[in-house]
Amino acid sequence: MKSFDIPKFYKSPVISRIKNSRKVNDPRKKDYSPTLLDFGPVQFYIARHFGFCYGVKNAIEISYKAIEDNPDKRIYLLSEMIHNSEVNNDLKNRGVGFIMDTSGNEIINWSELKNDDVVIIPAFGTTLEIEKKLNEIGIDPLKYNTTCPFVEKVWNRAESLGRSDFTIVVHGKFRHEETRATFSHSKESAPTIIIRDMDETILLGKIISGETGINEFYKIFDGKYSDGFDPEVHLNRIGVVNQTTMLATETMAISEYLKNIMINKFGLQKINEHIADTKDTLCYATHDNQKATYGLLEQNADLAIVVGGYNSSNTSHLAELCEEKLPTYFISSSDKILSSKLISHFNYHDQSERVTENYLPEKEVIKIILTSGASCPDSIVDDVLQKILSYFETSKDIESVLLDID
């Protein structure tokens, strides 16, 4: 695995030590159980996998290199480089401008850009239309392209399926940058449709089976299909690919559901002619983080703290998994821990922030699950752990606890 040049302030002496220990003892990543840090009155279950993934490290390395390489030029990001405010704010503080917000709305007018400006493509990738616009200005969109290799793998698979006359079904959030980019690339080589979840999958399945009329397709999926999409023709051969930050289990369930629809319609013997096997498009990092979360949830904990950007899709999915079992607090940094009694946390269901009292139960030993999203620096997770520890005067010191896991 490639090593990356990441600024030291994103690293953590505590979390890095835990990760290194697990890497040495489980190099093939077969053990998804968490690491237990027993401080006496409070115990932390630390996820086996969390934090910066390969794609995020790659994007950070390229972005900071762009700043280093171009001290006298104007540098822009198309939009947030990753979904983490700490990282994006640091880039802003270093003079990097943002052309668009995460929804694609202009912050800086395209007419303000010059051909000697530097533009960084974020980890989510971008659309072919935006690449063309940058080329017309005279800016090379690929010079500092931080698109995650696993996102590009999805694009390449979609292109390959299109050449074999398959239609692409993208499991993703329609307005997410990555899904917009995937849709743009996919529709160049194949009819493409975006579905959000299993509910929309069931609706699509009813159209494929003929249970729902074709006219309903255009109402249900308005704006979510490529030009010239003909459901009577284009839903007979399909392949499911995903937005890499979606729940891998949900993508697999969607693909399996549609496979059964195709079996009922065309028969088992011809199934490979009607739905492609696309398991190879699932992001390993998202898969590992989610499996590690299931490992966390096997523990008898009192609460979960999930750390990451509030607009981070993969982080919200980790919070979603945790809240199915126990009280879960989705926070962006240690600043959200207001005291030992109060915590300000994000409710991704209604996109609101709320304050909860007495989040730490009154027990002799409190057990806390701790994890973070793929775009969250380890240093922020470290800050969260240490802030909570500060409320327990009789807790063991960190070094003695870490010696137990070495």
pLDDT in tens, 245-287: 888 889 999 999 999 999 999 999 999 999 999 988 888 888 8
Q: ∠271-279-166 over CA atoms, to 5°?
A: 50
Q: Which numeric CATH code is attached to 159-282?
A: 3.40.1010.20
Candidates 64, 201, 182, 166; CA nearest to 125 is 182
pLDDT score of 162? 95
pLDDT score of 361? 97
pLDDT score of 103? 86
What does the block give as tokens for 387? Answer: 């802030």
pLDDT score of 1? 60
Residue 49 and residue 371 in contact, taking contact as beta carbons nearer than 8 Å:
no
d(CA 81, CA 58): 11
Q: Which of these is catalytic: 80, 177, 178, 200?
A: 178
pLDDT score of 206? 97
pLDDT score of 166? 97
Ranges in the chain, pLDDT < 70: 1, 406
- Respond yes or no: is residue 178 known to be catalytic: yes
Label residues 21-50 b or e (16+ Cβ within 10 Å = b).
ebeeeeeeeeebebbebebebbbbbbbbbb
pLDDT score of 94? 95
Question: Which pTM was predicted?
Answer: 0.89
**Fold match flag (8-53+285-403 vs 159-282):** yes
Q: Select the CATH number that applies to the domain covering 8-53+285-403 from these four: 3.40.50.2300, 3.30.420.10, 3.40.1010.20, 3.30.230.70.
A: 3.40.1010.20
Domain ranges of the chain: 8-53+285-403, 54-137, 159-282
Yes or no: is domain 54-137 CATH 3.40.50.11270?
yes
pLDDT score of 57? 94
